[in-house]
């Protein structure tokens, strides 16, 4: 039998569905950071994010135990879709109006962007400033646009994966990205922000 540590997420999910609890421990370790950072970014509240993260993984466990996972793509994308649905249910319960106001304590510093930066100190400083400006502008986007930008640029998801995760068509995902970029360009113009990486 193949070593659990060398298995793909899809193989581990199938192992867990067949009764191997250690397989789920590895799945959780591999995916928890990505899913939690996504939830925290969308809901902007640490306590709510913790609750929604727990609820998401309970739903993932239940779906796996009930055989409702078919390895037709990336396991992490499937998990993101489950988390997305949990978040949308939470918003519906809160009767949110689809726009989340930025909070004072939300700085997005937990998003890693080291791989986007050059080793040059000057370039790194400029790039850090550009990313900080972009993140500040993203705070003012409607939730649906902010979510697409986050998935595309900070989690490197394809538009096909984004569409599947958010339960919309690819055209809708592309449209949200287009409007997000237009809004961010407008904000940059209005506030005289120069967004060019070195």
| CATH no. for 122-191 | 1.10.10.10
pLDDT at position 60 is: 93
- The answer on pLDDT for 30 being more than 90 is yes
Query: 48: exposed, middle or buried (C-beta count within 10 Å: 0-12, 13-18, 19+)?
Result: middle
d(CA 179, CA 197): 21
Task: State pLDDT tens for residues 149-179.
Answer: 888 878 888 888 899 999 999 889 988 988 8
pLDDT at position 56 is: 93
Task: State pLDDT tens for residues 105-156.
Answer: 554 444 444 544 444 444 555 556 666 777 778 888 888 888 888 888 788 8
pLDDT mean across residues, the chain? 80
pLDDT at position 2 is: 77
| CATH no. for 4-97 | 1.10.1740.10
Task: State pLDDT tens for residues 95-117.
Answer: 644 444 445 555 444 444 454 44
Spatial CB neighbours of 40, under 8 Å, sequence gap ≥ 6: 46, 49, 110
Tell me the domain boundaries of the chain.
4-97, 122-191
């Amino acid at each position: 039998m193949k070593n659990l540590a060398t298995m793909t997420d899809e193989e581990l999910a199938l192992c867990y569905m067949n009764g191997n609890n250690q397989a789920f421990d590895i799945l959780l370790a591999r995916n928890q950071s990505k899913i939690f950072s996504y939830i925290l970014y969308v809901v902007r509240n640490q306590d709510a994010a913790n609750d929604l993260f727990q609820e998401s993984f309970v739903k993932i466990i239940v779906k796996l135990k009930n055989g409702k996972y078919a390895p037709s793509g990336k396991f992490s994308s499937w998990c993101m879709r489950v988390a997305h649905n949990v978040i949308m249910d939470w918003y519906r319960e809160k009767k949110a109006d689809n726009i989340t106001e930025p909070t004072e304590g939300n700085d997005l510093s937990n998003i890693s962007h080291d791989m986007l930066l050059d080793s040059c100190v000057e370039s790194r400083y400029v790039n850090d400033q550009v990313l900080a400006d972009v993140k500040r502008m993203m705070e003012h986007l409607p939730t649906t646009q902010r979510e697409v930008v986050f998935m595309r640029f900070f989690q490197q998801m394809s538009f096909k994966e984004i569409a599947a995760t958010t339960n919309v068509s690819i055209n809708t995902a592309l449209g949200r990205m287009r409007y997000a970029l237009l809004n961010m360009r407008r904000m940059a113009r209005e506030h005289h922000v120069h967004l060019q990486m070195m």
